[in-house]
Amino acid sequence: MTNYKNHLLFGVVCWVAVCYVFNFLQHPLFAVSFAVVAVSSLFPDLDSQSSKINNFTELSLAGIILFVAGVLYFTKNNLLLPLLFACGALIFAMQLLRHRGVMHSPILGIFIASAIYFLFSHFLAAAFLVGFFSHLLADQHF
């Protein structure tokens, strides 16, 4: 079974190889792309209750919920209410996902990379794809 360290290492090695082959080593977002590769190489395991990214995400979302609830209580500002509900819904949805289900789908990786492409840049979308598909390759989903 591949652990998170192996997924991170394999994702980063694949990304450096892609950047070397396509001469992206001097790209202005090269350093930032490592964060994207790190997250995306762990992303498919978001549905596993014992994964590092799941534990970190649940803790982060719970922290956001507590922070937003505190802000809402003290400021009476309801603009952050949708964020509160979204974080709660994500925590709930994460409990319903079965491991190696939709989160390990190549279609999901392409969909998220497309969103990154339109919202940020093609370079970061490519970094996401390499990290995501390196995870699937390491888990032998191809």
Instruction: Kindly report the number of other CB atoms within 10 A of residue 26's CB atom.
Output: 7
pLDDT at 31 over 80: yes
Distance separating alpha carbons of residues 122 and 141, to the nearest angstrom: 25
pLDDT score for 112: 86
Residue 1 has pLDDT above 50, yes or no: no
User: Is the pLDDT higher at 35 or at 96?
Assistant: 35
Please indicate whether residue 77 or residue 127 has the higher confidence score (pLDDT): 127
**pLDDT tens across 33-90, in order?**
999 999 888 888 777 666 666 556 555 656 666 666 666 666 766 666 676 666 666 6
